Amino acid sequence: MAEEPAEIRRGRGQALIDLAREDLELYGVGELEERIEALQAEIARSRAQMQRKQAGRAAADALFSKRD
């Protein structure tokens, strides 16, 4: 039995690069509105993740900072 070839792993951020290169002329107004909503949701998700990371960093800094 032949094994299926493994999927090629895409680089980090490659999906965003591919998305930015997409030809928007092919979309209708409604589709563009849906695309904008999806992108705004992704921005909100990215910001929430960034805030979690900043909070974790602040907690670590507070824990390991020098105390006089």
Please state the domain count of the chain.
Answer: 1
Task: Find the domain containing 62 and state its range.
Answer: 29-68
Residue 15 carries which side chain, given as an amino acid letter? A
Distance CA 44, CA 55 (A): 16
Note whether residue 24 is domain-resident: no
Q: What is the pLDDT of residues 15-54, one digit of tens each?
A: 999 999 999 999 999 999 999 999 999 999 999 999 999 9
Say which residue, 8 or 57, is predicted with more confidence: 57
Find the mean pLDDT for residues 51-65: 93
Q: What is the pLDDT of residue 25?
A: 97
Q: Please, which pLDDT band fits residue 1 given cuts at 50, 70 and 90?
A: low
Q: Is residue 41 part of a domain?
A: yes
Within a domain: residue 7?
no
Does any domain span residue 18? Answer: no
> Does residue 9 belong to any structural domain of this protein?
no
- Structural domain contains residue 67: yes
Q: pTM of the predicted model, to two decimals?
A: 0.72
